[in-house]
Amino acid sequence: MAKPAFFDYPTFRETRLPKVRLAHWKPVTLYTKYRWLVQALVVISFMLAPELRWLKLDLTNGQYWLLGYQVSLTVALQAVVILWLGTYFVNFFENYLIGRLLCGWICPWGLLNRLGMIINHFLRRHKQRALILAAANLLFAITATLVVMNWMIDLGTLFRPEHPYFGWVWGAFGLLALIGFVILHQMGFKFCESICPFGMYLTVVTQKNSLRITFDSNRACVDCGLCTQVCPMDLSPREMDFKDSMNGGFGQCILCGDCIDVCQVRMELENLPPPLRWNTAEGIIPLLPLEAKQGAK
């Protein structure tokens, strides 16, 4: 497929539609509505699992639970290993067949990054924006740390100075919350782009025949640049199909659908169909690599 000429001279016009930048929180298509729902359910399950003793290793008191029953450390550790391996294999096949859904749909850290972006957007004219954003990110980091620690310790230990692990638990809490805050506040989605080891792995193994964003060059594009502006992974969604996966293509795409949402909103103003689409959309051969499509013509 020939690369459209305008990609060599990107001239993104200013838009007078700041509301469309809210693509980060306001779902437009059914796809992004389901993404919000799934991510919320994952976060709720992650919080409830140790609370309901589905799986919890209380290392501070030497008590372990599985499916509501108290079990030995060995059984609990076996359950952890099975859970990790199961998660790994489910993700491996999901990633092979569909794409990097784990980052866009599942990862609670991505949700916190997204909430930070939404707060940043809403407060864009607020004088205390930097301070409020820092406070919000600190709150997110503390909450995430407590949720993760709840899988491994009794959080009540934090309030029992007589407990032998009191100092250790506070030390771990402080360190994890600080690391979380620095990552959230200083890096945001940059962490997912370039540091998260799981993200790097997914970038490498993501296949070209996965679900991906495609630019339909038979449709008009008003060259507004909004798709690029909203992309949390700093990609250029229009170009992805023309790049290889290792250098800014679908390997980095977390399949959030924000670019498609914003393109749809923008093109509705022109009464034209959006040029950005999923490769599974009607009129595009589903899940077929570009080379195969070209060969078939």
Residues that bind ligand SF4 (CB under 6 A): 213, 221-227, 230-233, 235, 237-238, 253-259, 262-263, 266-267, 274-276
Instruction: Report in angstroms how near the CB of residue 256 gets to ligand SF4 at its nearest.
Output: 4
Residues across the chain: 297
The nearer residue to ligand SF4, 55 or 255, going by C-beta atoms, is 255
The nearer residue to ligand SF4, 169 or 221, going by C-beta atoms, is 221
Instruction: Report in angstroms how near the CB of residue 265 gets to ligand SF4 at its nearest.
Output: 9
Find the helix packing angle between 108-122 and 30-51, rounded to 10°: 120
Instruction: Report in angstroms how near the CB of residue 296 gets to ligand SF4 at its nearest.
Output: 25
Instruction: Report in angstroms how near the CB of residue 213 gets to ligand SF4 at its nearest.
Output: 5
The nearer residue to ligand SF4, 199 or 237, going by C-beta atoms, is 237
The nearer residue to ligand SF4, 163 or 216, going by C-beta atoms, is 216
Between the alpha carbon of residue 203 and those of residues 1, 31, 214, 251, 252, the distances in Å are: 23, 22, 18, 4, 5
Instruction: Report in angstroms how near the CB of residue 217 gets to ligand SF4 at its nearest.
Output: 10
Burial class (CB in 10 A: 0-12, 13-18, 19+), 252: buried
The nearer residue to ligand SF4, 145 or 214, going by C-beta atoms, is 214
The nearer residue to ligand SF4, 66 or 259, going by C-beta atoms, is 259
The nearer residue to ligand SF4, 119 or 253, going by C-beta atoms, is 253
The nearer residue to ligand SF4, 223 or 291, going by C-beta atoms, is 223
Instruction: Report in angstroms how near the CB of residue 21 gets to ligand SF4 at its nearest.
Output: 11
Q: Tell me, letter by letter, the H, E, C secondary structure of the chain.
A: CCCCHHHHCCCCCCCCCHHHHHHHCCCCCHHHHHHHHHHHHHHHHHHHHHHCCCEEEECCCCEEEECCEEECHHHHHHHHHHHHHHHHHHHHHHHHHCCCHHHHHHCHHHHHHHHHHHHHHHCCCCCCHHHHHHHHHHHHHHHHHHHHHCCCCCHHHHHCCCCCCHHHHHHHHHHHHHHHHHHHHHHCHHHHHHCCHHHHHHHHHCCCCCCCEEECCCCCCCCCCHHHHHCCCCCCCCCHHHCCCCCCCCCCCCCCCHHHHHHHHHHHCCCCCCCEEECCCCCCCCCCCHHHHHHHC
Instruction: Report in angstroms how near the CB of residue 145 gets to ligand SF4 at its nearest.
Output: 27
Instruction: Report in angstroms how near the CB of residue 240 gets to ligand SF4 at its nearest.
Output: 6
Encoded amino acid at 283, one letter: G
